[in-house]
Structure 1
Amino acid sequence: MPESPDPPAAPGRRRPPARWIALREHAPVLAVIALGGAIGALARYGLAVLLPTQPGHFPVATFLTNVSGCFLIGILMVVVTEAWTAHRLVRPFLGIGILGGYTTFSTYSVEIRGLLGSGEAGVALGYLVVTLVAVLPAVALGMGLTRWAFVRRERAVEP
């Protein structure tokens, strides 16, 4: 796609390059993603400290992080797309930032590789399968419960 033309400059002023205009437009989104990511990563770290994983064992903290994060993503997506007209920065802050920083499928992959490397193929396979079997229904459950709650709330408000 061709780059958009620079906007006209005020008389006597040089117009800024299009890339600076784009950066200025996207800066608030990038800032809320960074802030949310820091918050989410701290929450994930806190859970990992509370539930440390012993070498060769099922990584409970990462499993709970990913399942709960997927559940929350399901809730968030219904709230911001179906139930509430959110400010344009809410979804990047909560979804990409906080929940993106909180969930950790990269750590999930590294832990599976570590379990395989330490000869714990059964634990690795169990972790792989149980996580996939748990996170997808977690999203659906979060979405379903949120839709149910909003329908119930709307019926209670109707005269």
Structure 2
Amino acid sequence: MTDSDETPLWLFSLKFYSLEGVRESLLACQDCSGANINIVLFMLWIAPHRRVLSLDEVREIVSLTRSWSKNVVFPLRKIRQSLKKTEEGIVAKDSALLREKIKMLELEAEKIEQRALFEAYDINCIGKLGLETGATAKANLKIYEQLLKAPFPEPNLEFIVETISRGLH
């Protein structure tokens, strides 16, 4: 994929993820609740458009990404994370180089997943019209929590909602 393949969702995700504290909060939601960060980012991306999702729409979004996440993104992540521990007899710099290459593949796989989300849903048609950005983001994330049957860590959820409420400048 090239830069011309970047969707507005992907560009938003890169910018939002780079904000101070966001990465850690998103990873906490992933680690504690089993959340797919790409789905969380999609929900945050639609929040400024005031689109509130239904439980059925969130189920559909999860279903759309499930196979790709399970068969491509998660295995790449697991391999990358396992390379944090250098195996006996393996040169650390070689392991780090391989880990970085796998990280790039993982990012490319996430970009493909986000493209699927972007192309599957019209921002003007999905969900119903909601209120302000923060309330919309929180409503969408609470529905996702309900589907996961695992709450997000409250401080992380609040931080993410507050951050999206401030907007991206």
Q: TM-score, normalised by structure 2?
A: 0.30
Q: Which has the higher contact order (CA 8 A, sep 6+)?
A: 2
The structure that has the greater radius of gyration is 1
What is the TM-score normalised by the length of structure 1?
0.31
